[in-house]
Structure 1
Amino acid sequence: MKTGTDTENCVVRRRASRPRADALRNRERIVTAALEMFVEFGPDVPLDEVARRAGVGNATLYRNFPDRAALTHEVVLSVTSRTTNRAEEAVAAESDPFAALSRFVHAAADERIGALCPMLSGSFDQNHPELLAERDRLEQAVEGLVERAMTAGRLRTDIAVGDVLVALSQLTRPLPGIACLDIDRFTHRHLQLFLDGLETPARSVLPGSAATLEDLRRGPDARPTTT
């Protein structure tokens, strides 16, 4: 039989095992601030500046993320997860498959998916199971968008899902340290130009071959697969 003291101890342990709401908010603020500063200044921005942007003390930041690798891991995971969610929302919101693809591309830009590229060169475990699972989830979602638009005859057939991901990454990649700090205002304009080039009928013959997911995974020195 549990005594009153035993019951009180159980309650204390349960409370200790669940993060408090304010602790969760602090963690989210740190991740948001880190992403903003990685975009603006690159992935090597001082962590105390991240803490200042988040409105928390250094001790709070390091309590949540003991080092830069841990923080970068969480930022990459957060961006990837939210971008996948945007793909799923686009499918639910648009009956036209090409409109769904377009909606996703613009939404992914707002999630700052291009900021992942500089971060992925950092010293953290890119092959962490959690990150790999979220990457696979994103790739499957985008692959589904591309396949549906192509099957509907709305998307040119000489491209592959890798072309979409590469272009999206390049057109939304931050340029830290440049004088034109408001360059983001051109992002959606240039993405729309890219999307117009994806629609059928194709207005040109593309050089080279379509970029597949396998091409992207094999690294920058790999030759594209042939069809």
Structure 2
Amino acid sequence: MSPAADTEARRLPRPRADALRNRERIVTAAREMFVEFGPEVPLDEIARRAGVGNATLYRHFADRNVLIQEVVLCVLSRTTEQAYEAAATEADPFEALRRFTHAAADERIGALCPLLSGTFDQHYPELTNERERLEDAVQGLFDRAHEAGRLRADVAVGDLVVALSQLTRPLPGTGCLDMDRFVHRHLQLLLDGLEAPARSELPGTAATLEDLRSTP
């Protein structure tokens, strides 16, 4: 950093600790309520769950779209770190993939990322960068598991992404409010099916990330 830039950086006011805590509480509450009730949940209900006033929420997030972007960015970033942590912690490449999959389900990435389909800009640079960072991290998990012969050869990252999206998105209908208790159980069944050696021949072809991006 140049001396001039360093001086300018020191002049900029730093957010107060309580303001940062409020922002974090708002994002956490919004993440929970978007999963439970969808993206149209009233913002005053989010503020109430976060324990802040409406004015505080709007001071941090000018409108609903900005808040949704921040929530999804947070989830993408946390899920990416889960992928790196799994790769660094687990010696067995398939166990690293297994650990990441369950962690990604806990982040509810499948329930939250579809919120980006809507009327606002899906090409928000920070979101694009974080999505690419996550894709690279997960692709690395797949590559290592394939190279070690621990992952069946006829699957790709897109197969896992589709399954995570389906299993972690709340099902419609009031009779399905307690489906969360099945998520990790069914993910374990999925992962058993991904492990090599393959026990059957899969119909169709492996789903890649490129396939998912080209899907309308």
* TM-score, with length taken from structure 2: 0.92
CA distance in 2, matches of 1:56, 1:182: 28
What secondary structure, in the 3-state scheme, does the structure 1 residue paired with 2:120 have? coil
Residue pair 1:41, 1:177 contacting (<8 A) in 2 also: no
Residue pair 2:72, 2:113 contacting (<8 A) in 1 also: no
Aligned positions, number: 208
What secondary structure, in the 3-state scheme, does the structure 1 residue paired with 2:154 have? coil
Q: Select which of 124, 127, 146 maps to 1:131.
A: 127
- Structure 1 residue runs of 4 or more that deviate by more than 4 Å after TM superposition: none
Q: Percent of aligned positions with the same letter in both sequences? A: 76
Alignment match, 2:116: 120
Does residue 84 of structure 2 align to residue 88 of structure 1? yes
CA distance in 2, matches of 1:127, 1:58: 28
Higher Cα radius of gyration: 1
> Cα offset for 1:34?
0.4
Alignment match, 1:65: 61
> Cα offset for 1:158?
0.5
- Trace 1:139-150 onto structure 2 (pairs within 5 A): 139-150=135-146
CA distance in 2, matches of 1:158, 1:118: 26
> Cα offset for 1:18?
0.5
What secondary structure, in the 3-state scheme, does the structure 1 residue paired with 2:91 have? coil
Q: Select which of 162, 167, 170 maps to 2:163.
A: 167
> Cα offset for 1:177?
5.3
Residue pair 1:109, 1:168 contacting (<8 A) in 2 also: yes
For the aligned residue pairs, the C-alpha RMSD in angstroms reads: 1.5
Q: Select which of 166, 191, 194 maps to 1:195.
A: 191
Alignment match, 2:17: 21
Residue pair 1:154, 1:199 contacting (<8 A) in 2 also: yes
Alignment match, 1:213: 209
Letter in 2 for 1:34: A
Residue pair 2:23, 2:60 contacting (<8 A) in 1 also: yes
Structure 1 residues without counterparts, runs of 5 or longer: 1-9, 221-227
Structure 2 residues without counterparts, runs of 5 or longer: 1-6
CA distance in 1, matches of 2:23, 2:104: 23
